[in-house]
Chains A and B, each alone.
Chain A
Amino acid sequence: MIGGLFIYNHKGEVLISRVYRDDIGRNAVDAFRVNVIHARQQVRSPVTNIARTSFFHVKRSNIWLAAVTKQNVNAAMVFEFLYKMCDVMASYFGKISEENIKNNFVLIYELLDEILDFGYPQNSETGSLKTFITQQGIKGQHQTKEEQSQITSQVTGQIGWRREGIKYRRNELFLDVLESVNLLMSPQGQVLSAHVSGRVVMKSYLSGMPECKFGMNDKIIIDKAGKGGVTNEAGKSDLGGGGSTSGKQSIAIDDCTFNQCVRLSKFDSERSISFIPPDGEYELMRYRTTKDIILPFRVIPLVREVGRTKLEVKVVIKSNFKPSLLAQKIEVRIPTPLNTSGVQVICMKGKAKYKASENAIVWKIKRMAGMKESQISAEIELLPTNDKKKWARPPISMNFEVPFAPSGLKVRYLKVFESKLNYSDHDVIKWVRYIGRSGIYETRC
Chain B
Amino acid sequence: MTDSKYFTTTKKGEIFELKAELNSDKKEKKKEAVKKVIASMTVGKDVSALFPDVVNCMQTDNLELKKLVYLYLMNYAKSQPDMAIMAVNTFVKDCEDANPLIRALAVRTMGCIRVDKITEYLCEPLRKCLKDEDPYVRKTAAVCVAKLHDINAQLVEDQGFLDTLKDLISDSNPMVVANAVAALSEIAESHPNSNLLDLNPQSINKLLTALNECTEWGQIFILDCLANYTPRDDRESQSICERVTPRLSHANSAVVLSAVKVLMKFMEMLPKDLDYYSTLLKKLAPPLVTLLSAEPELQYVALRNINLIVQKRPEILKHEMKVFFVKYNDPIYVKLEKLDIMIRLASQANIAQVLAELKEYATEVDVDFVRKAVRAIGRCAIKVEQSAERCVSTLLDLIQTKVNYVVQEAIVVIKDIFRKYPNKYESVIATLCENLDSLDEPEARAAMIWIVGEYAERIDNADELLESFLEGFHDESTQVQLQLLTAIVKLFLKKPTETQELVQQVLSLATQDSDNPDLRDRGYIYWRLLSTDPVAAKEVVLAEKPLISEETDLIEPTLLEELICHIGTLASVYHKPPSAFVEGSRGVMHKRLPARTGSGESTESPDVGTAAGGSAPEAAPSIIPSQGDLLGDLLNLDMAPPTTSGPPPPTTGMQMGGMDLLGGGLDSLMGDESEPLGGDIGGSPAMGAGFGAAPAVMPASLNAPVGGGLGDLFDLGGVGMPMGAYIPPKIVWLPAMKAKGLEISGTFARRAGVIQMELILTNKAMSVMTDFAIQFNRNSFGLAPAGPLQVLTPLGPNQTIEVSLPLSTVGPVMKMDPLNNLQVAVKNNIDVFYFSCQYPISMLFVEDGKMERQVFLATWKDIPNDNESQFQIKDCHLNSDAASSKLQGSNIFTIAKRTVEGQDMLYMSIKLSNGIWVLAELRVQAGNPNYTISLKCRAPEVSQCVFQCYEAVLKN
Given A46-B296, A72-B569, A255-B290, is A120 in contact with B174 using a C-beta cutoff of 8 Å? no
Q: Is the CB of A75 within 8 A of B301?
A: yes
Q: Tell me which residues across on chain A come within 8 A of B571, comparing CB atoms.
A: 72
Q: Is the CB of B582 within 8 A of A70?
A: yes
Q: Tell me which residues across on chain A come within 8 A of B108, comparing CB atoms.
A: 113, 117
Q: Is residue A417 within 8 Å, beta carbon to beta carbon, of the partner chain?
A: no
Q: Is residue B280 within 8 Å, beta carbon to beta carbon, of the partner chain?
A: no
- Cβ 8 A contact of A256, one of B151, B243, B249, B566: B249
- The segment from B35-43, B843-851, B859-867 found at the interface with A is B35-43
Q: Tell me which residues across on chain A come within 8 A of B363, comparing CB atoms.
A: 390, 392-393
Q: Cα distance A110–B70 when bound, in Å? A: 11
Q: Cα distance A139–B67 when bound, in Å? A: 14
Q: Is the CB of B217 within 8 A of A77?
A: yes
Interface of A, helix, strand, loop or mixed by DSSP? mixed
Give B106 Cβ to nearest chain A Cβ, in Å: 12
Q: Cα distance A313–B213 when bound, in Å? A: 58
Q: Is the CB of B403 within 8 A of A267?
A: no
Q: Cα distance A192–B213 when bound, in Å? A: 41
Q: Is residue A140 within 8 Å, beta carbon to beta carbon, of the partner chain?
A: yes
Given A106-B64, A158-B213, A267-B249, is A73 in contact with B569 using a C-beta cutoff of 8 Å? yes
Q: Tell me which of A21, A23, A140 has the highest count of chain B C-beta atoms within 10 A of its own C-beta.
A: A140
Q: Cα distance A433–B249 when bound, in Å? A: 24
Given A52-B581, A138-B64, A264-B212, is A148 in contact with B99 using a C-beta cutoff of 8 Å? yes
Q: Cα distance A76–B323 when bound, in Å? A: 20
Q: Cα distance A148–B256 when bound, in Å? A: 34
Q: Cα distance A268–B212 when bound, in Å? A: 12
**Using a Cβ cutoff of 8 Å, how many contacts connect chains A and B?**
293
Q: Cα distance A155–B250 when bound, in Å? A: 20
- Cβ 8 A contact of A264, one of B250, B323, B357: B250
B37-55 interface bits toward A, Cβ cutoff 8 Å, 1 = contact, 0 = none: 0110011100000000000
Q: Is residue A349 within 8 Å, beta carbon to beta carbon, of the partner chain?
A: no
Q: Tell me which residues across on chain B come within 8 A of A82, comparing CB atoms.
A: 297
- The segment from B14-22, B132-140, B388-396, B621-629 found at the interface with A is B132-140
Q: Is the CB of B325 within 8 A of A193?
A: yes
Instruction: Please provide the chain B residues from 1 to 43 with a CB less than 8 Å away from any CB of chain A in the complex.
Output: 2-4, 6-7, 35, 38-39, 42-43
Instruction: Please provide the chain A residues from 101 to 131 with a CB less than 8 Å away from any CB of chain B in the complex.
Output: 102-106, 109-110, 113, 117-118, 120-125
Q: Is the CB of B566 within 8 A of A286?
A: no
Q: Is residue B221 within 8 Å, beta carbon to beta carbon, of the partner chain?
A: yes
Q: Cα distance A379–B256 when bound, in Å? A: 50
Q: Tell me which residues across on chain A come within 8 A of B258, comparing CB atoms.
A: 74, 76-77
Q: Tell me which residues across on chain B come within 8 A of A174, comparing CB atoms.
A: none
Q: Is the CB of B297 within 8 A of A46?
A: yes
Given A102-B3, A138-B62, A148-B99, is A77 in contact with B250 using a C-beta cutoff of 8 Å? no
B124-145 interface bits toward A, Cβ cutoff 8 Å, 1 = contact, 0 = none: 0000000000111101100110
Q: Cα distance A234–B182 when bound, in Å? A: 47
Q: Is the CB of B329 within 8 A of A440?
A: yes
- Cβ 8 A contact of B150, one of A22, A29, A110, A132: A22
How many residues of B are in contact with the other chain, CB < 8 A?
116
Q: Cα distance A218–B139 when bound, in Å? A: 40
Q: Tell me which residues across on chain B come within 8 A of A105, comparing CB atoms.
A: 3-4, 6-7, 38-39, 42
Q: Is the CB of A152 within 8 A of B582?
A: no
- The segment from A8-16, A203-211, A315-323, A352-360 found at the interface with B is A8-16
Q: Tell me which residues across on chain B come within 8 A of A258, comparing CB atoms.
A: 249-251
Q: Tell me which residues across on chain B come within 8 A of A56, comparing CB atoms.
A: 297
Q: Is residue B475 within 8 Å, beta carbon to beta carbon, of the partner chain?
A: no
Q: Cα distance A138–B61 when bound, in Å? A: 9
Q: Is the CB of A254 within 8 A of B289?
A: yes
Contacts beyond the supplied A80-B298, A257-B250, A286-B251: 17 A-B pairs with Cβ under 8 Å: A22-B114, A72-B581, A76-B302, A76-B568, A79-B253, A79-B298, A82-B297, A109-B68, A117-B143, A123-B217, A138-B62, A152-B104, A157-B135, A257-B251, A258-B251, A392-B364, A440-B329
30 contacts between A and B (CB under 8 A): A15-B42, A22-B151, A26-B44, A29-B44, A44-B332, A45-B300, A46-B333, A47-B301, A71-B582, A76-B301, A77-B217, A77-B254, A79-B253, A105-B6, A106-B35, A120-B143, A123-B215, A124-B215, A140-B99, A140-B101, A156-B176, A192-B322, A255-B249, A255-B290, A258-B251, A259-B251, A260-B215, A288-B286, A288-B289, A440-B327
Binding site for B on A (CB under 8 A): 1, 13-17, 19-23, 26, 29, 42-47, 49, 52, 54, 56-58, 69-77, 79-83, 99, 102-106, 109-110, 113, 117-118, 120-125, 132, 137-141, 143, 145, 148-149, 151-153, 155-158, 160, 184, 186, 192-193, 195, 197, 254-260, 263-265, 267-268, 283, 285-286, 288, 388-390, 392-395, 440, 442, 444
